[in-house]
Amino acid sequence: MKLIRRALISAIAAIALAVGPAVSAEAASISFDVTKLSAKSIVVSNSNCRNVDINMSHKKSGVSDWYVDVDITRQGGLVDYAFFQNGGNTKRDRVMVCPDWTGLGKYTMGPSEVWANNSSYSKYVDRTDYTKGSFYIRGKASASLSTKRSGNTVTLTSSTKVYNPEQYGKVNYNPKVKFQVKSGSKWKTIKTVTAKKGKATYKVKSKSKKTYRVTFSQVSWATGATSKSAKK
């Protein structure tokens, strides 16, 4: 359906070229510009396809009818189109994204094909608008912490996983893990370790029992997570 819409834009533009005069300096009195493209980022924990609402803002002058066709891409590959038009969805369109096919990470909205005309078809706009926006699809990550004491040494071991829709399940994840200890009402980072095969270990010297946790930040394709606290 989106491809049919894009073909319709081209057809209408061709008609405008046939029935209207050649583009001249007076065409400057008609304009249409995409000013903003936005969408909410999504977190996935299963392989289902997702609907994403694409929002578009624009400004126009001397325009009667118009169409905007927005490319939705990931790493340069076309995923879908968002389509906007006067008299219909002027500000929002819904596209479907299937992360098990197209992957996690950053998705780009734009460039857009823009076509607009005045009421008599004597002036028109037919161009590419290079305004862009982005949203992210992230796999849901998780963190857990186990503790073991031997004398004055406490061994902290983290386990980290992330949902990967391309593998239809949780897989080991290797973020930069922050081991933290509670100090008063605040958490203090005592060591940052890059996990390997979903595990990270740190040994800390402590005569008394203290409360620990592990945490890591989100990236473009995975959420952050914080473990439950453990006292040892």
- Which stretches of the chain drop beneath a pLDDT of 70? 1-28
Task: Give pLDDT tens digits for 145-200.
Answer: 999 999 999 999 999 999 999 898 999 999 999 999 999 999 999 999 999 999 99
Please tell me whether residue 165 adopts helix, strand or coil conformation: coil
Read off the amino acid at residue 208: S
Please tell me whether residue 228 adopts helix, strand or coil conformation: coil
Per-residue tokens: 195: 């996990």
- DSSP summary character for residue 29: G
- Find the angle CA(111)-CA(113)-CA(117) to the nearest 5 degrees: 140
Give CA–CA dist 168/161, Å, rounded: 13
In the prediction, which pLDDT does 5 show?
53
In the prediction, which pLDDT does 29 show?
84
Give CA–CA dist 194/177, Å, rounded: 6
First to last CA, the chain: 60
Give CA–CA dist 191/170, Å, rounded: 26
